Structure 1
Amino acid sequence: MSSLASPATKDFLLHKMAEYQELLSTIRALQPSRLSYIEILQKEVQRNQDRPQGRPEDDGEEGTGRPPSSSQPSRENTTLLAPPYTIPRALAVSPDLGGLPVSSEMATNLRKVLFGNTFHIFNYEWKKSFFKFREPYSDLSYALEAERGGARAIQMAVQANIVKFLLFTRNTSSASCMQSLREVGEKEQERALAAALTDILWTAGEEQSATVSLVTSEKSFTPHLDYKLDNITEKLQLFNFSEKEDVQKFIHEHILSFKEDGSHGVILFLYSLIFSRTIERLRQDLDSTTSHLLHLSLGNFVCRQALMNLLLTGRASPNMFNGTLQHDEQGDPLERPLHGVATRSDVGYLYWSREQVEHSQLPMVGSMLKTPKSPIWVCSINGTYSMLFSPNRSLLSDWKMEHLFDLYFYNGQPSQSSTALLTIDTHSHHWEMGAGGTHGDPEKRFPSVEMTIRTKWEGAAIDWNGTVPFF
């Protein structure tokens, strides 16, 4: 090889050297500031927002938090595979908003009181759940859409409080209460949702305080080895309030964090509920029969009675009977008392299980839940949640009103296009008359929703007013 390079070779080497120097300058400029790198990533995210959604950050069912594999499938395939529950950047509040970043200890206690351990995380069905209203200015404009799954219990409890707000809290004419439910626009839906969430949180905080949990864009702690990442809990910030009006205003300002697709709205509200109650008080609410709020059933996490009671009464008592049970059925003292419902709730609760009835195991619901302050009931019917309500505020305070009255039924399913009207007759004749024989499907002869109503009004005859009985 000749020691003297040709002019062309020298020009080539000089050109490459200039490119190398330019590259070094760029690297040096980027090194002092991580913000420049973050801004580059944010610009890339911004460019991709209008494209079909691809595979999200690997924070799904396994919650490992590992970076994606280098061997990525094609964009066409990722569009089909992508679960739609990543949090859009618009819904992740700024870490500088002023909340308290969740600590490792708080996150660990949160997991334990929910699941009983730190390894379980919410699955896809929970992560995609939020508070989605039906079409504004429609027959169901007051109503939330609640799909099947464990989160449905929470959605229907919030639904009951939405109806309480729309019927009995905001200024409406009593003569047109039901009509007013069909005239709810999007802004009023948001107001009602904020009011419902606030009422539940404020009650859980013993009407002294409440905590709202929102997600930020940054993790606030590095998990330890026996804690499973989910990329939601680690990004929480907690906002504490001592005035109810401030809670409602704050939730209303951040309502998209609860009602938008991708917001994990139900999970965030559940976290807010637990922190409003506080872990310490919640553990005191529980008894020897229940150590945590969710249990695994048929591959999904479902709400225990303690969580339902926390939603309705503000106290996570594990049983439906009134008061505290000190003795067993034989009258012998229990080793540890069993905790029931201590106060009459604003929204009631009715329970029916055909399977438990067949095995003579149907638990009794106490009057604290059966007779609430407002004529609205969350119903657990064969393990599925729905709602009954009346626009007549006097229904539960004037016994004469309970002879013949109307109840409205909504089950949360997208297939229900209008609110079912049921007329309840408690005194003219026995409900079994005209049942049409004793053979055939018992669900058709005695629909479970009717049997649920009869746990409150024994012997009532129920007219569906032309609707084919369902549920």
Structure 2
Amino acid sequence: MFQQPLDMQPPHPPPPVPPVPARRPLLKTAPRLGAVARAVTAANSTSRSVGERVMYARKQRLVLQKNPVTGGTPITPEEAVTLRQVTFGSALVPPRTDWLRSGLVFREPEQPLGFGLVAARSTTGGLLSVVQAQVIKHLLFDSAPRDAQRKVDELLRPTLMQQQEALIHAISIILWRAGEKTCSRVCLPQDLPIVAASQNFLPDGVTEKLHLYEFTTLEDLQIFIKRYSYMFQEETGPGMMLLLYSAVLSRGPSKVMKDLDNDKAFLMGAAEEGSHCVIMLLLTGRATPYLHNGVIYVGDEDHYALPQFGVLARTEVGLLWDEATGSDDESRKPGSRLKTPSLPVWVIRCAGHYGVIFSTNRELLRNYHAERRFELQYYTCEGGYCQMTVDTRYEEDQNSSKETNRENSVIPQLEKVIHTK
């Protein structure tokens, strides 16, 4: 059977083209599209502006950007031994787990007590209370102009960004003060250990990995702390230990030993929640055990008078001490420069526990009439919180029996500490 060549076969007919529907006039649909666009835009802007809030994940600390730690000067074996001895008393015994596994962690942002740091009771309580006091000071008095109309409830419910800013400010100010506002040092660990175990040093997982960074301006220090803030905030990281180490290095280990005024002493001491020398180092920049004002010369006719350096200037954040904690030695009781700071925020030790009391009224310590009746708030990082009204007015015609009965009654320890002010 004859077949026609392929190249001579007739082409297939093209498929039919469907008719193009007639277009509707654009002038009739444009207004409708514009209205829909405006409605969608308004809905989006409304959803973002309700309460001016931004929704974050429940565990905000996990979303912090983690920049790898690079650069710096590796710590030498001699520096590692000295740092451990001055801070914890021995380089052959590792620090307690409280320091190796405790970070600076906030509560949930934009919630009641959102300004608060949280931690279990441990030897880090004193250091954490000082950081907490600095955070509260920044939120209430530093983050907004003095004449601004501010809502206290909003200031004490900071956003995640405000929490970060307050913590960066607190750490920077503490280290800058310890470095006498001229030169501060920060230590951060890297991955590989630098100092090997020896007869003089036992590794603890942190000290042998440290690198040191030095700063001569507060701005550079704040930028660096902001970049590596996650190192201080990891819940199971050594954040508190890094802050304490950095404060010691900023002050200088030799100066810290001179401040302690005892060749056998070390910074942490044996107190349950840390020595008050740690408090003084972070509050005043000097690790002195003496709480009185100025310098007192102590001696007798058989010995030369030696100086005891107390608080040399009025502090921004104060310190109140319960009478049971101290002794009859007046040098171990806070002087007026600690009792009357420039701002109404105090680190307080009551019944062996550290906390913070504060007032939202900036004029409390500047106006005599404001001290007659005022509000105070008390917060501890272990979870304690209360609000109280303090009334310093009293009936002058009270007889001695009533006064005696009051003195013998069971007065809460916190009220006793406030009365020392």
Normalised by the length of structure 1, the TM-score is 0.69
CA shift, 1:224, in A, is 2.4
2:134 paired residue number: 161
The answer to whether 1:426 aligns with 2:400 is no
Find the partner of 1:347 among 308, 311, 317.
317
SS in 2 for 1:377: strand
1:226 paired residue number: 200
Find the partner of 2:370 among 389, 394, 401.
401
SS in 2 for 1:218: coil
Find the partner of 1:377 among 323, 346, 350.
346
- Contact between 1:215 and 1:235, CA under 8 Å: does it hold in 2? yes
Separation in structure 2 between the aligned mates of residue 385 and residue 366 of structure 1, nearest angstrom: 18
Number of residue-to-residue matches in the alignment: 355
- Structure 1's consecutive aligned runs of 4 or more residues displaced over 3 angstroms after TM superposition are 90-95, 172-177, 330-336, 353-357, 360-363, 428-440
1:214 paired residue number: 188
Separation in structure 1 between the aligned mates of residue 360 and residue 252 of structure 2, nearest angstrom: 34
Find the partner of 1:314 among 285, 302, 308.
285
The answer to whether 1:243 aligns with 2:232 is no
SS in 2 for 1:284: helix
Residues 69-117 of structure 1, C-alpha deviation per residue, up to 9 Å, x if partnerless? Answer: xxxxxxxxxxxxxxxxxxx9x999746x221111111111101111233
- Contact between 1:290 and 1:318, CA under 8 Å: does it hold in 2? no
Separation in structure 1 between the aligned mates of residue 402 and residue 65 of structure 2, nearest angstrom: 55
Q: Give the residue type in structure 2 aligned to 1:349.
A: L
- Contact between 2:316 and 2:341, CA under 8 Å: does it hold in 1? yes
Instruction: Summarize the Cα distance change of 1:129–1:435 in structure 2 as closer, same or farther, 3 Å threshold.
Output: farther
CA shift, 1:438, in A, is 7.0
Q: Give the residue type in structure 1 aligned to 2:373.
A: L
Instruction: Summarize the Cα distance change of 1:331–1:379 in structure 2 as closer, same or farther, 3 Å threshold.
Output: farther
SS in 2 for 1:380: strand
CA shift, 1:420, in A, is 2.1
Q: Give the residue type in structure 2 aligned to 1:407.
A: L
SS in 2 for 1:412: coil
Normalised by the length of structure 2, the TM-score is 0.77
Find the partner of 1:325 among 296, 299, 306.
296
Rg larger in 1 or in 2? 2
Separation in structure 2 between the aligned mates of residue 162 and residue 197 of structure 1, nearest angstrom: 9
Over the matched positions of the two proteins, sequence identity in percent amounts to 32
- Contact between 1:346 and 1:372, CA under 8 Å: does it hold in 2? yes
Residues 294-324 of structure 1, C-alpha deviation per residue, up to 9 Å, x if partnerless? Answer: 1235xx6x42222211111111111111122
1:202 paired residue number: 176
Q: Give the residue type in structure 1 aligned to 2:390.
A: I
- Contact between 2:134 and 2:317, CA under 8 Å: does it hold in 1? yes
Instruction: Summarize the Cα distance change of 1:228–1:322 in structure 2 as closer, same or farther, 3 Å threshold.
Output: same
Instruction: Summarize the Cα distance change of 1:346–1:332 in structure 2 as closer, same or farther, 3 Å threshold.
Output: farther
Give the alignment of 1:33-48 within 5 angstroms.
Answer: none
Separation in structure 2 between the aligned mates of residue 406 and residue 439 of structure 1, nearest angstrom: 23
Give the alignment of 1:346-365 within 5 angstroms.
Answer: 346-354=316-324, 363-365=332-334
1:102 paired residue number: 75
Instruction: Summarize the Cα distance change of 1:219–1:354 in structure 2 as closer, same or farther, 3 Å threshold.
Output: same
Instruction: Summarize the Cα distance change of 1:267–1:355 in structure 2 as closer, same or farther, 3 Å threshold.
Output: closer
Find the partner of 1:286 among 246, 260, 277.
260
Residues 218-256 of structure 1, C-alpha deviation per residue, up to 9 Å, x if partnerless? Answer: 112223212111010000111111110111111111111
Find the partner of 2:381 among 391, 405, 412.
412
Q: Which runs of 5+ in 1 are unaligned?
A: 1-87, 457-471
Q: Which runs of 5+ in 2 are unaligned?
A: 1-61
2:244 paired residue number: 270
- Contact between 1:92 and 1:216, CA under 8 Å: does it hold in 2? no
Separation in structure 1 between the aligned mates of residue 380 and residue 373 of structure 2, nearest angstrom: 23
2:107 paired residue number: 134
Separation in structure 1 between the aligned mates of residue 162 and residue 302 of structure 2, nearest angstrom: 54
CA shift, 1:259, in A, is 1.0
Residues 168-216 of structure 1, C-alpha deviation per residue, up to 9 Å, x if partnerless? Answer: 1112675435212343111211111000000110011111121121110
Find the partner of 1:253 among 211, 227, 243.
227
2:54 paired residue number: none
- Contact between 2:325 and 2:352, CA under 8 Å: does it hold in 1? no
Residues 148-170 of structure 1, C-alpha deviation per residue, up to 9 Å, x if partnerless? Answer: 11101111100000011111111
Separation in structure 1 between the aligned mates of residue 119 and residue 403 of structure 2, nearest angstrom: 32
CA shift, 1:266, in A, is 0.3
Instruction: Summarize the Cα distance change of 1:236–1:446 in structure 2 as closer, same or farther, 3 Å threshold.
Output: same
1:79 paired residue number: none
Q: Give the residue type in structure 2 aligned to 1:320.
A: L
Separation in structure 2 between the aligned mates of residue 92 and residue 109 of structure 1, nearest angstrom: 30
Find the partner of 1:148 among 101, 104, 121.
121
Separation in structure 1 between the aligned mates of residue 402 and residue 387 of structure 2, nearest angstrom: 20
Separation in structure 2 between the aligned mates of residue 174 and residue 426 of structure 1, nearest angstrom: 29
Residues 419-466 of structure 1, C-alpha deviation per residue, up to 9 Å, x if partnerless? Answer: 5221111123489998996799x6xx311110010000xxxxxxxxxx
SS in 2 for 1:350: strand
Separation in structure 2 between the aligned mates of residue 355 and residue 162 of structure 1, nearest angstrom: 26
1:179 paired residue number: 153
- Contact between 1:409 and 1:420, CA under 8 Å: does it hold in 2? yes
Separation in structure 2 between the aligned mates of residue 216 and residue 289 of structure 1, nearest angstrom: 32
2:412 paired residue number: 447
Alpha-carbon RMSD: 2.9
Residues 325-359 of structure 1, C-alpha deviation per residue, up to 9 Å, x if partnerless? Answer: 2126x8986654323111211110000044668xx
Q: Give the residue type in structure 1 aligned to 2:97.
A: Y
Separation in structure 1 between the aligned mates of residue 415 and residue 406 of structure 2, nearest angstrom: 17
Separation in structure 1 between the aligned mates of residue 66 and residue 149 of structure 2, nearest angstrom: 43
2:307 paired residue number: 337
- Contact between 1:326 and 1:334, CA under 8 Å: does it hold in 2? no
